[in-house]
């Protein structure tokens, strides 16, 4: 196996530090409904741990919940409730949404408010080593004492100084220094500390939780590319300064941002689709296929057309997996080539686009094999196994049925008219997938031949029997109405 590491900028062989693969993934700040950007990251790292376990590794995963934060406090104050109420409500919603998306529960899911004592110990240790200092009830990290600060984001001190500032009320020694402990302010939750009442800064919680639950050095740290700087950069500085061990993380994995239009999907920008809203219209498998159809480090743009194509693909896999086929056929479809392709792709830095392609090729060939009277039982089990590694449930819209006889009649009628118009006729089979592929191809050819009325007749005829066509950037897809 090979993994791309953000710190080294290289794809390297995966060799865990110990017998158990330790993995830390940054969690949510629960102050509002979670959106598909959160779901994208969760699914990517869910697949990473599923595949590692499939490959025989023991894996221990920790993911934090930042349940004290400016955004939580501000919203609580606006609504006249406590920060704990806001955080509790949306943390529970996030948990339920992860279950709906078939994201495996992590091994440890600590809340920031429950880990204050550990954070205080880390901060005291940093002060004792000269990496941090107290000022007016707050504590700051001395950035320039960590001479390799900026190594993850590849930034130099002089470039970081541009835009660095000291906010009113702060008493930093240097504008680059960042807060570890914030002195209490009126109307905010606070805890006792050696420097007076206050609350933790954002970055310190992850250093405290990862060292407490996974050890001073860990194998994998995951999160979105938006966390590289300053969050993960600061985690490295804090943790390595505190433990004295380098590197803090052996493999830094960062997923690309999910974009809606030209901007990253974000609560602060308001350009988002919530997980809850998405699941009222689409299946969990469709979102997995949409996400995993792209390389995890690349940005991904959300469009309804792309989701429709993913939903069509998900429905296709469900139909193949759940199709009832008579037993007793002797010649069998051998699934090993597809299995090997899947493993080869996933071993190459979790190349899910190629892994997904292997699944769709296997599904297509299962249909073809059974049309030819072959036994595809073992191949179907392989499809289910490999899909399960990607977290696919094979549940959803395939429960609705389409009567194949009206579809066959439509295909026969269109074939006759196409021949008259000088366009090659398609296949009329006993399999919905084959007929639909034929009709979609024929519709494309009819359009090229300027036989628009006949092309529209295909769309209208399908609509009458409960099938909708959608023209997307990836091609024409179909779905049940």
Cα–chain center distance at 254: 11
Identify the pLDDT of residue 428: 73
Beta pairing, strands 132-135 & 258-260: unpaired
Position 432 scores a pLDDT of 78
Domains and CATH numbers, the chain: 2-264 (3.40.50.620), 281-399 (1.20.120.640), 404-480 (no CATH)
Q: What's the first-to-final CA gap in the chain, in angstroms? A: 42
Q: Rounded to an integer, what distance in angstroms lies between the CA atom of residue 75 and that of residue 159?
A: 34
| Cα–Cα distance, 31 to 400 (Å, whole number) | 37
- Structural contact between residues 288 and 43, judged by C-beta atoms closer than 8 angstroms: yes
Its pTM stands at 0.82
Cα–Cα nearest to 25, from 249, 175, 189, 178: 249
Closest CA to 238 of 138, 157, 133, 122: 122
**How far, in Å, CA of 236 to CA of 1, rounded?**
25
CB 218, CB 248: distance < 8 Å: yes
SS3 365: helix
With beta carbons less than 8 A apart as the criterion, state whether 248 and 219 touch. Answer: no
Q: Are strands 218-224 and 249-255 parallel, antiparallel or unpaired?
A: parallel
Vertex 217 angle, CA 213 and 221, to 5°: 80
CA 37 to each of CA 46, 170, 259, 264: distance values in angstroms, whole numbers, following the listed order? 14, 33, 8, 8
Helices (H), 129-262: 157-160, 204-214, 233-243
Token pair 């449930």 is found at 393
Instruction: Strand 132-135: give its sheet, edge to edge.
Output: 132-135, 138-141, 178-183, 198-200
Structure tokens at 65: 């919940």
The three-state secondary structure class of 251 is strand
- 362: its two tokens: 């296997």
Burial of 19 (0-12, 13-18, 19+ CB in 10 A): exposed
Length of the chain: 481
Q: How far is residue 5 CA from its own chain's centroid?
A: 18
| pLDDT value of position 328 | 64
CA dist 100 and 45 (Å) reads 16
Each residue's pLDDT tens digit in the chain (481 positions)? 999 999 999 999 999 999 999 999 999 999 999 999 999 999 999 999 999 999 999 999 999 999 999 999 999 999 999 999 999 999 999 999 999 999 999 999 999 999 999 999 999 999 999 999 999 999 999 999 999 999 999 999 888 876 666 676 778 999 999 999 999 999 899 999 999 999 999 999 999 999 999 999 999 999 999 999 999 999 999 999 999 999 999 999 999 999 987 677 776 666 789 999 999 889 999 999 999 999 999 999 999 899 999 998 999 999 999 887 766 667 899 999 999 999 999 999 999 999 999 999 999 999 999 888 899 999 999 999 999 999 999 986 544 456 778 888 888 888 888 888 888 777 677 777 778 888 888 898 888 888 888 889 998 989 888 888 888 766 788 877 6
Q: Is 60 in contact with 20 (CB distance < 8 Å)?
A: yes
Q: What is the DSSP letter of 32?
A: S
Q: How far is CA 213 from the centre of its chain?
A: 23
CA distances from 345 to 154, 350, 355 (A): 29, 7, 6
| pLDDT at residue 473, as a whole number | 66
Output the furthest CA–CA distance in the chain (Å, rounded): 89
Torsion of CA 328, 334, 336, 341, to 10 degrees: -130
- Name the residue with tokens 């680059």: 176
Which residue stretches of 147-283 are H helix?
157-160, 204-214, 233-243, 275-279
Within the chain, how many helices (H) and strands (E) appear? 16, 15
């Amino acid at each position: 196996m090979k993994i791309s590491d953000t710190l080294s900028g290289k794809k390297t062989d995966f060799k865990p530090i110990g017998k158990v693969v330790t993995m830390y993934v940054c969690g949510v700040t629960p102050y509002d409904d979670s959106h598909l950007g959160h779901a994208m990251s969760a699914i990517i790292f869910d697949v990473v741990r599923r595949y590692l376990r499939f490959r025989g590794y023991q894996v221990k995963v920790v993911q934090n919940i930042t349940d004290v934060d400016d955004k939580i406090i501000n919203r609580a104050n606006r609504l006249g409730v406590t920060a704990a109420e806001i955080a509790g409500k949306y943390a529970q919603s996030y948990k339920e949404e992860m279950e709906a998306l078939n994201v495996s529960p992590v091994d440890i899911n600590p809340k920031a408010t429950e880990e204050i004592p550990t954070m205080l110990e880390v901060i005291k240790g940093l002060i004792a080593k000269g990496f941090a200092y107290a000022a007016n009830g707050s504590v700051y990290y001395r950035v320039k004492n960590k001479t390799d600060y900026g190594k993850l984001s590849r930034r130099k001190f002089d470039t970081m100084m541009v835009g660095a500032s000291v906010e009113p009320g702060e008493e930093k020694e240097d504008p680059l220094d960042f807060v570890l402990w914030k002195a209490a302010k009126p109307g905010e939750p606070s805890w006792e500390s050696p420097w007076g009442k206050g609350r933790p800064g954002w970055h310190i919680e992850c250093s405290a939780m990862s060292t407490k639950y996974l050890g001073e050095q860990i194998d994998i740290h995951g999160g979105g590319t938006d966390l590289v700087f300053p969050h993960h950069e600061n985690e490295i500085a804090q943790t390595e300064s505190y433990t004295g061990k380098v590197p803090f993380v052996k493999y830094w994995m960062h997923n690309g941002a999910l974009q809606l239009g030209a901007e990253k999907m974000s609560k602060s920008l308001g350009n988002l689709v919530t997980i809850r809203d998405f699941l009222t219209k689409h299946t969990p498998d469709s979102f997995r296929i949409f996400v995993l159809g792209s390389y995890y480090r690349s940005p991904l743009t959300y469009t309804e057309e792309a989701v429709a194509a993913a939903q069509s693909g998900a429905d296709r896999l469900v139909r193949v997996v759940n199709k009832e086929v008579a037993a007793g056929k002797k010649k069998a479809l051998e699934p090993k080539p597809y299995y090997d392709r899947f493993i080869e792709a996933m071993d190459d830095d979790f190349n899910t686009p190629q892994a997904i392609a292997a699944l769709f090729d296997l599904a297509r060939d299962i249909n073809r094999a059974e049309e030819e009277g072959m036994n595809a039982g073992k191949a179907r089990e392989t499809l289910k196994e490999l899909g399960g590694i990607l977290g696919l449930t094979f549940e959803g819209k395939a429960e609705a049925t389409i009567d194949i006889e009206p579809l066959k009649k439509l295909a026969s009628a269109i074939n006759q008219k196409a021949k008259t118009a000088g366009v090659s006729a398609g296949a009329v089979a006993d399999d919905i997938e084959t007929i639909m592929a034929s009709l979609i191809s024929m519709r494309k050819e009819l359009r090229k031949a300027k036989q628009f009325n006949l092309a529209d007749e295909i769309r209208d005829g399908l609509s009458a029997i409960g099938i909708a066509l959608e023209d997307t950037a990836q091609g024409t897809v179909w779905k049940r109405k």
